[in-house]
Amino acid sequence: MARQTLKVGLAGLGAVGLEVARRIEAGIPGLALTAVAVRDVAKAKRNLPEAGKRIAIVPVETLAQSCDVVVECLPPEMFRTVAVSVIEAGKIFMPLSVGQLIENWDVVERAKQTGARILVPTGALLGLDAVRAAAEGTIRSVTMITRKPPNGLDGAPYLVERGISLADLKAPLKVFDGTAREGARGFPTNVNVAAALSLAGIGPDKTRLEIWADPALTRNTHRIEVDADTARFSMTIEGIPSANPRTGRIVPLSTIAALRGLVAELKVGT
């Protein structure tokens, strides 16, 4: 029996969302971009020719009504609006603002009642499968060290609240050392990878996170160290920033890979 085409909705058409949209529009068997929710309708129509025609432009709260899966690519403050609407509709929710999932854990509990599913793409995180596998046993510790160019951290609430300026930085500066939960709260647009890592492993309160601003870097660098009863491993990834320096070019591709895995006859990895 032929597999039914999965109708995809995109909440947001920024640097990540637009790339996801264009790749689906270029043609991926089993996926169809059905609707988008945007703040700037005119810009959406310029960037995505079928927007407002074959691809409906709808309010973010109603995306789930016409879609099977909704991908969230929004500013953190809009996360809950789209999350609740998708969960209540019992559809598939794919959040990219993963740190906000930690802050709104009630939507996960609610998904158990509505039949919705929440699928977090790997994003810029290397080795998520290995962490998930290790979590089936016992993980003793998980540490993530993130290093970014200063402009990739500008405006983070944690820095603003403490009056930490990264202007004219001449040497690497450690700006945060704490838990993944605290990091997700203080850097909501910067360390979604740490939130995903914590959810795959030992949780946001046990996962340790360091964040460095490094003026010598041009790439977002993440190093993960895991000590478990089945293996000890470390991983490093250097991601090329997208048009939005807070996120990497690999994020939309990871989202496409996750969507493709929902409809492909062969899926490699968990």
Please, are residues 71 and 254 in contact by the beta-carbon 8 Å criterion? no
Q: How many helices (H) and strands (E) does the chain have?
A: 11, 11
Supply 260's token pair: 């493709």
Supply 202's token pair: 């030992």
Per-residue DSSP letter, 154: T
Name the residue among 228, 252, 230, 224 with its Cα closest to residue 16. Answer: 252
Active-site option among 23, 222, 224, 262: 222
Please, are residues 21 and 33 in contact by the beta-carbon 8 Å criterion? yes
Give the dihedral sign, CA 172/173/174/176.
negative
Note if 222 is an active site residue: yes
What b/e string do you get for 224-246 counting C-beta neighbours within 10 Å, with b at 16 or more? Answer: bebebeeeeeebebebebbeebb
Per-residue DSSP letter, 5: P
Residues involved in catalysis: 222
